[in-house]
Amino acid sequence: MDERLLFDRLHQALDVEPSPGAYDRLRVSLIKSPARPHGGLSFTFRWPKVGLRLAAVVTLVVLGIALVAGFVATHRVAEDITTVNSDHAITAYKLRLSDAYARISTEASNWNCNSGTQFAACEADANRLLPANYQWLNDLNAIQPPARFAIAHAQLRLHVTAQLARTYVWIAASRAHDAAAVDREVAVIRGQTGATWVQTMVANVVASKQRSAATYISSVRSEKLGLDGCASCQNLAGQSQVSCTGGQAPTCQDLVTLTATQVLSFQAALIATAAPNSMTTKDNRLQLDLGAAAAALVAMDDALTSGDQAAFNVGRTSFQQAMPAINRDAADILKS
Amino acid sequence: MAHVMFVHDEADLIRAAGQGDGAAFAELIRPHYRSAFRVAYGLLHNANEAEDAVQEAAFKAWRRLGNLRKGSSLRPWFLAIVANQCRSVSRSRWWSVLKVESPESEGISVDVAAAVDLRRALLRLGHDERLVVVLRYYLDMPFEEIATTLGISTKAARTRVERAVHRLRPIVQIQGAAV
């Protein structure tokens, strides 16, 4: 690619200067404030207590049921996509989804739990977000998506259900005064299979535009290359043993996070650069299989949070089944 | 504050800032403020958040001034702190209010639409990939300085830039064809 072209385009896209007086404001702040000493909170890693383990197991069971139900529901959606796909229906859906998301985002913006040691603040945040998440799920259930977003919508419900289950673990950890467990749960709630996934998908639905076959195929090709080049994805999809116990847990977390980032990127691209009508059947297949991979990553992420190797293996098996299907679907689109 | 007027040497400014002189530290980062803002804006795509991030990063840099190795350049060190601050902002911004734009884009010029597309494409990159694109193509930074900023080898910096550009390539090529 012509480097100059990218340079010019980037300057055009990000042509913003600091507001007048911005540096002076910073200067005044620096002069007024004395330099503070070094310091910061540090958290030690502890495995969950017995009560917390129980809560985590119950959550995993609930989550497992939710994931299966969501997966079935998603496939049912795919078999029965009959909703209108008009510009009006698409705009109406974007507005309703955006409004519903704004409600949960307003609730979540009053965030006080900045570290797991703030037990009262963390429990209060979790208790406040729980009904907000239920409302968000109810809103999603009440919204009828147009065909273009039917699969993404079903997956959105799946992820919000997972967030609800995680919020219960968060509350249990706060009540047990287990700072490390609170930190782990908050991290997963905010992470690539949690809020980041939800936020990215909502943003891409809002920005979605139907494109030509050439543009759509180009987008799929780019994402497929990203997936092929993602060592973590290939590692998780491969047959080598992955142990996540003890000191291996952070490595497993990296594998899941990096893979989830790549899968989310692919999912988001399919929504942002929506397939032309002539390619929706193939696109739906790819979206479904990416959704299965994303659901498997949710299960693996939760298994890591609760230190459950067996549950991690179950999630990984689902991911191993989804990846070849994704490769087939993408290849089918690329040869179109 | 007035005593800063007599201090011109960077080493003197560093010494004065290290002793708690905020004006001296402000002078130190003055030449890099615009670059820092551009990095923050390129990563966050929000001017207010970018200014806040640079301000927060400036305070962090001041507190950590002792970590700056003697003889090493201030700019990459400061920009690395700004980039880390932006990463924290992005993480804490896990819920944000989204606005629906009109589905019709007929009134939008090709240039504006292309810029919006490129910004969207940038936002779909991970933090590290977005950072190298901003450093290389927005700040026009040589690979050696990118490497220093990221604390990696020049070769690794080059590879990261190539990987990020590879992911942006389809959207930029489309834009290139449109004009």
A-chain residues near B44 (CB < 8 A): none
**pLDDT class of B103 with cuts at 50, 70, 90:** very low
Q: Is residue A34 part of a domain?
A: no
CB contact under 8 A, A94 and B100: yes
* Candidates A19, A27, A108; nearest CB to B51: A19
Residue A145 pLDDT:
93
ipTM exceeding 0.85? no
SS3 letters across A186-253:
HHHHHCCCCHHHHHHHHHHHHHCEECCHHHHHHHHHHHHHHHHCCHHHHHHHCCCCCCCCHHHHHHHH
CB contact under 8 A, B175 and A209: no
Judged against a pLDDT cut of 50, whether residue A44 lies above it is answered with no
- Please give the tally of structural domains in chain A: 1
Q: Is residue A218 part of a domain?
A: yes
Judged against a pLDDT cut of 60, whether residue B19 lies above it is answered with yes
Residue A32 pLDDT:
74
Residue A292 pLDDT:
96
β-bridge mates for residue A209, sequence order: A273
B-chain residues near A101 (CB < 8 A): 97-98
Residue B164 pLDDT:
87
A-chain residues near B64 (CB < 8 A): 38
Q: Is residue A38 part of a domain?
A: no
Distances in whole angstroms, Cα of residue B18 to Cα of each of B7, B13, B27: 14, 8, 13
Six token digits for residue A168: 């219960």
Give tens-digit pLDDT for A115-125.
888 888 899 99
Residue A259 and residue A195 in contact, taking contact as beta carbons nearer than 8 Å: no
Q: Is A209 on the interface with B (CB under 8 A)?
A: yes
Measured between CA atoms, the residue of chain B closest to residue A264 is B124
Nearest to A237 by CA among A297, A191, A193, A188: A297
Average pLDDT of span A116-136: 90
Sign of CA dihedral A166, A150, A224, A215: negative
Nearest to A13 by CA among B147, B137, B1, B33: B137
* Candidates B25, B99, B103; nearest CB to A90: B103
Q: Is A195 on the interface with B (CB under 8 A)?
A: yes
Q: Is B128 on the interface with A (CB under 8 A)?
A: no
**pLDDT class of B69 with cuts at 50, 70, 90:** confident
Compute the C-alpha angle A275/A262/B40, nearest 5°. 100
Least-confidence region, from A41-45, A83-87, B38-42, B60-64 = A41-45
CA A209 to chain centre: 21
The mean predicted confidence, pLDDT, of chain A is 83
Least-confidence region, from A17-21, A54-58, A194-198, B125-129 = A54-58
Q: Is residue A40 part of a domain?
A: no
Residue A2 pLDDT:
67
Least-confidence region, from A10-19, A76-85, A308-317 = A76-85
Judged against a pLDDT cut of 80, whether residue B87 lies above it is answered with yes
Q: Who wins on pLDDT, A158 or B175?
A: A158
How close does chain B come to A265, measured CA to CA in Å? Answer: 7
Please identify among residues 9-28 of chain B the ones whose CB lies closer than 8 Å to any CB of chain A: 17, 20, 22-23, 25-26
Angle at which helices B10-18 and B22-29 cross, to 10° = 140
CB contact under 8 A, A206 and B98: yes
Residue A15 pLDDT:
72
Domains recognised in chain B with CATH numbers: 1-94 (1.10.1740.10), 99-179 (1.10.10.10)
Q: Is residue A311 part of a domain?
A: yes
CB contact under 8 A, B51 and A30: no
Give tens-digit pLDDT for A241-297.
888 887 777 788 888 988 998 899 999 999 999 999 999 999 999 999 999 999 999
Measured between CA atoms, the residue of chain A closest to residue B56 is A26
Judged against a pLDDT cut of 90, whether residue A332 lies above it is answered with yes
How close does chain A come to B159, measured CA to CA in Å? Answer: 13
Residue B99 pLDDT:
40
Question: Which among A78-87, A106-115, A129-138 has the top mean pLDDT?
Answer: A129-138
Judged against a pLDDT cut of 70, whether residue B177 lies above it is answered with no
Neighbours of A90 (CB within 10 A): 22
CB contact under 8 A, B124 and A219: no
Burial letters B113-143, b for 16+ CB under 10 A, else e: ebbebbbbbbbbbeeebbbbbbbbbbbebeb
Q: What domain range is A108 assigned to?
A: 50-334
Phi, psi of A273 (to 5 degrees): -105, 80
**pLDDT class of B113 with cuts at 50, 70, 90:** low
Number of A–B residue contacts, CB under 8 Å = 167
